[in-house]
Homo-oligomer: A and B are copies of this chain.
Amino acid sequence: MTRPVYILGGYQTDFARNWTKEGKHISAMIREAVTGGLASTGVEAREIEVGHVGNFAAELYAMQGHLGAFLVDVDPAFGGLPTGRHEAACASGSIALLAASAEIEAGRYESALVVGVEQMKTVSPAVGGDYLGTAAWYEREAKGVEFPFPKLFGKLGDEYEKRYGLKDEHLAAISAINYENARKNPKAQTRTWYMSNDHACGSDQYNAVIGGRIKVSDCSQVTDGAVALVLASEAFATKWAARRGLTLDQVPRLLGWGHRTAPLTFDAKVEESRGNPFILPHTRRAITDAFGRAGVADCWALDGIETHDCFTTSEYMAIDHFGLTAPGESWKAVEEGVIALGGKLPINPSGGLIGGGHPVGATGVRQLLDAYLQTTGQAGAYQVEGARRFATLNIGGSGTTTCVFVVGT
């Protein structure tokens, strides 16, 4: 990177909340994330030079566009703040992070506020499922389909089964680990819910099939949530660290990033990857791009991963695409306890999207906040002991837009 980009911390709203039931507008979510982010970092509003918002589809869920401009409403010191909103379906938060970090790298600004936000509980699950279909090629893959995304990620499992074999018990184990981790995360949506491996393995009235091989236990949640993160240049971070009593090398940086886009429809992806050991080769490439930029040899240089488990199949995919196992052998890392909290390379200590919640446009920012918390020893009960380097993997659509960050001190 031309100029390093530091992460000064941030704030996550409680993902268990239902802001519609509270009678609150999406602007209230943005407000809480921003004021929380400034308070937790000790950065003042007047020190923020640019604002970026990641959001998938507030036009549909909340009949509101132009979300960047809502930042200005939060604090009088934000008058004139340059703002914008960024979107790539469920990778929207990472697109906002890429835009914000590019502006710091380019020397345009010394500090940036990044907010990821989605208010999803404004509509019924069926209507929300239809809205989510606009993350796929709506007319070809989602129109008239009930819950298109479980079906699309069910197909990802089917493709694993065809190429390598896949046992649903391994998907159930992934679900159980995420739920278990979420119990340790005070912001996780499901922290008080009950989900065991046995329960996730079952397919009955308590764990209904949603589409294809995807059951309720395989799905991430419909979530309201907002997350704010403060990024800064070296000059800003140096002064900030000094006033916090830190040395600069205690402040995590974006060590590397990857960003790739595959063909939009899932069938086109499978067609393209035929003969490739990786089912989503562009996702693999985003990971190796990030490793290359970060100077990281392989996944074993990481202390943990926050990945995009919108469904258990996408985490199953992440395991071999990150290189924890050979392609098609993700089940080994599940069976051997590698990905559990306390394992050799924990995945989703936060509970991920399945346990923690998945407010679509906020997820990429939440992942980076968790990577920050982990690499500064502030993750509390879900802390990976001694973590110094974390990666995030954020996916938009059925494996379409992939964004990866490597974060570390």
Q: Give the interface of A toward B (CB within 8 A).
A: 1-3, 25, 27, 50-51, 56-57, 59-60, 63-73, 79-89, 95, 98-99, 102-103, 105-108, 131, 134-139, 143, 259-264, 272, 282, 285, 396-397, 400-401
Shortest 9 CB-CB distances between A and B: which pairs?
Answer: A105-B106, A82-B259, A65-B134, A84-B95, A102-B102, A106-B106, A66-B89, A59-B59, A83-B261
Taken together as a complex, chains A and B put the C-alpha atoms of A1 and B103 apart, in Å, by 11
Cβ–Cβ contact A79 & B272, under 8 A: yes
A57 cross-chain contacts in B, Cβ below 8 A: 59, 65
**Is the CB–CB distance between A396 and B69 below 8 Å?**
yes
Residues of chain B within 8 A of A260, CB atoms compared: 80-82
Apart from A59-B60, A64-B137, A99-B102, list 14 A-B contacts with CB within 8 A. Answer: A2-B2, A63-B138, A64-B138, A66-B88, A66-B264, A69-B88, A72-B263, A73-B264, A84-B88, A84-B99, A85-B88, A87-B87, A102-B106, A103-B106
| Contact between chains at B263 and A135 (CB < 8 Å) | no
Residue of B nearest to A264 (CB): B69
Knowing A65-B135, A68-B261, A70-B264 touch, does A86 contact B106 (C-beta < 8 A)? no
> Contact between B64 and A134 (Cβ–Cβ < 8 Å)?
yes
Residues of B contacting A66 in the complex (Cβ-Cβ under 8 angstroms): 87-89, 134-136, 264, 396-397, 400-401
Contact across chains for A134 and B59 when beta carbons are under 8 A apart: yes
Give chain B nearest CB distance to A112 CB in angstroms: 11
Q: A134-B63, A264-B73 given as contacts; is B2 within 8 A of A68 (CB)?
A: no
Most buried by B among A60, A71, A79, A102: A102
Residues in B with CB closer than 8 Å to A102 are 99, 102-103, 105-106, 108
23 pairs from A and B in contact (CB 8 Å cutoff): A2-B106, A63-B134, A65-B87, A66-B87, A66-B396, A67-B87, A68-B87, A68-B401, A69-B88, A69-B89, A69-B264, A69-B400, A70-B264, A72-B262, A79-B272, A82-B260, A84-B87, A84-B88, A85-B86, A102-B106, A102-B108, A105-B106, A106-B106
Q: Which residues of B contact A50 (CB under 8 A)?
A: 259
* Bound-state Cα–Cα, A64 to B68, Å: 20
In contact, B80 and A282 (Cβ under 8 angstroms): yes
Among B63, B69, B73, B401, the residue within 8 A (CB) of A69 is: B401
